[in-house]
Amino acid sequence: MPSPFPGMDPYLEHPDLWPDVHHGLIEALRSYLAPALRPRYRVVVEKRTYRVDPSEMVFIGRPGVGTIRAVQEQAERYAGVGRGRPLTVEVPVPDIVEEGYLEVRDVASGEVVTVLELLSPSNKRPGEGRRLYEHKRLTILGSLTHLVEIDLLRAYEPMLVYGDGRRSHYRILVSRSERRPRADLFTFNVRDLIPTFHLPLRKGDEEPLIDLGRLLHELYDRAGYDLSIDYELEPVPPLEGEDAAWAAQQIAASREDK
């Protein structure tokens, strides 16, 4: 069954589902871009790995926090029982988070021409993940490398840009090195189609148009995300007001079309 939503499906933001969506969309972008950029450029999936404190794992779809809290409660309940005999407990162990992103590299020189980032909750949630990402982002923005930053998550504060007073659910930032500090910011909401944009490359080279909405909907169908989503429930995070009413209408209409 296709997604009920014409643009971004807010149910894909669920922390249990997003890691798979992130991985699938990164691979879909590479599969689309790699043939279009041959033979001048190649597209590489890079990964960054870092440790996250257990308290920062709430919204990134990783297990552990519930188990730790349950053991703590059990220890408190039986405090003072069987003194001299140890209780079996669990200690908070930092979790390993691995995130993929794309680099477009010049085949002849090996130089990174463009970095394409698809944000994850760990990039946006206050903590080590956000600090590390913001540091990397600032490094790219101070270099000759172009940056494309895709934010399909409503949770947490968006990444910093100046001169934008609008609030929106989702954003795509296209920062060309030769235009900095100016950049193009595409803002859109859950009711909107996802904007198309051109991938920045070296001056004079033909830049492919990225139809992110099409790629996302094709991924939805290919991965069978409708089998993992219960549209009877609210999305996470929930929609509000008119957006929630509109989403309910979209879901109801999709059921009638079955």
pLDDT in tens, 62-90: 433 333 344 344 445 545 555 688 989 88
User: Is 49 a residue whose pLDDT tops 50?
Assistant: yes
Which range marks the domain in which residue 42 is found? 10-77+91-256
pLDDT of residue 84: 80
Question: Would the pLDDT of 188 be above 70?
Answer: yes
Look at residue 237 and tell me if it is in a domain: yes
pLDDT number for residue 96: 76
CB 255 within 8 A of CB 9: no
- Residue 213 maps to a domain: yes
pLDDT attached to residue 52: 67
Q: Please state the domain count of the chain.
A: 1
Is residue 2 one of the residues assigned to a domain?
no
What's the rounded Cα separation, in Å, for the pair 121 and 15?
8
**pLDDT band, residue 93 (cuts 50/70/90):** confident
**Do the domain assignments include residue 179?**
yes
Q: Would 86 be classed as within a structural domain?
A: no
CB 37 within 8 A of CB 202: no
Is pLDDT of 156 > 60?
yes
Percent of the chain with pLDDT over 90: 74
pLDDT for the residue 103: 98
b/e code 223-245 from CB counts within 10 Å (16+ = b) = bebbeebebeeebbeebeeebee
84: in domain: no
User: Which pLDDT score is estimated for 90?
Assistant: 83
**Is pLDDT above 50 for 37?**
yes
Residue 258 has pLDDT above 80, yes or no: no
Q: What is the pLDDT of residues 193-226, one digit of tens each?
A: 999 999 999 999 999 999 999 999 999 999 999 9
Instruction: Report whether pLDDT(155) > 60.
Output: yes
Query: pLDDT at position 63, please?
Result: 38
Which residue did the predictor score with more confidence, 64 or 109? 109
pLDDT band at 34 (very low <50, low <70, confident <90, very high): very high
Q: What is the dihedral of CA 102, 108, 113, 118, to 10 degrees?
A: 0
Helices 212-223 & 18-37 angle (0-180, nearest 10): 120
Q: Does residue 4 form part of some domain?
A: no
- φ, ψ of residue 95 in degrees (nearest 5): -90, 150
Give the pLDDT confidence score for residue 61 in this predicted structure.
39
Would you say 64 and 94 are in contact if contact means Cβ atoms under 8 Å apart?
no
Q: Please give the model's pTM, rounded to 2 decimal places.
A: 0.85
For residue 185, being part of any structural domain is answered with yes
pLDDT category at 39 given cuts 50, 70, 90 is very high
